[in-house]
Homo-oligomer: A and B are copies of this chain.
Amino acid sequence: MARPSRPLLSRERIVAAALALVDAEGLDAVSTRRLAAELGVAGPSLYNHLATKDELLDAVVDAVLGEVDLSMFTGGPDWRGALESWARSYRAALAAHPRVVPALSQGMGRRPNALRLADAVFGGLVAAGWPRREATRVGALMRYFITGSSLGSFAGGFPDDAAVYQGDYPNLGEAHLLAARQREIDESAFEAGLTALLDGLELRLASLRIR
């Protein structure tokens, strides 16, 4: 075929197809040949638009981060409310693409949406009265909690089979029931943690102000 008059591919189309493939079949299913086939093209064609597979996965992660709502950080004084709804939006974006989460470990690099996110959170906290150093910490620790809550299900991790727990694990006698209530447990654990974290941060800000 050689060069077509109108390009068959674009970076965006490749990234969108890759995200769909990760969602459907997981990170391991994304090979350059497989992805190219999905796009109706030969394997090496992708290299006209992306330098490496790593760059592709980076772009996929960034696309997911682009779904996070940041509009709540517009300088109001209610940092708690902003952090809370941001955390839910962030988690929802990751929960919509759970198989992408392990790829988050690469750090934010130069991904524009990752940086936009960090910028908004930091700016919002500082505008609401948090000292800059502390705002950095709060941004980090919120990210820890949110990404951790998306890195694989807690409840879903327990095998469904009562025999696994016999004998060795005295406190896990009912653990085989967890998988069935997976969504409810993960959700309520996230909400409980979010509330605890925000309550704790209110105490922290108050004690910073006294000193």
Contacts and interface: CB of A to CB of B under 8 A. Distances in A.
A122 B154 CA distance: 13
A156 to B, nearest CB: 6
Contact of A152 (B106, B119, B142): B106
Main DSSP-derived SS at the A contact region: helix
Given A101-B105, A112-B168, A154-B144, A203 B199 contact: yes
B188 A123 contact: no
Interface stretch (A2-10, A17-25, A30-38, A158-166): A158-166
How many subunits of this chain does the assembly comprise?
2
Interface in A142-179: 142-149, 151-159, 164-165, 168-172, 175, 178
A193 interface: yes
A40 to B, nearest CB: 29
Interface string A173-198: 00100100000011011101101111
A-B complex: 10 closest residue pairs judged by Cβ atoms: A148-B148, A196-B200, A107-B157, A141-B193, A123-B171, A140-B189, A144-B148, A140-B154, A199-B200, A144-B149
A108 interface: yes
Contacts of A137: 185, 188-189, 192-193
Contacts of A203: 196, 199
A85 interface: no
Interface string A95-134: 0000001111111111010111011101100100000001
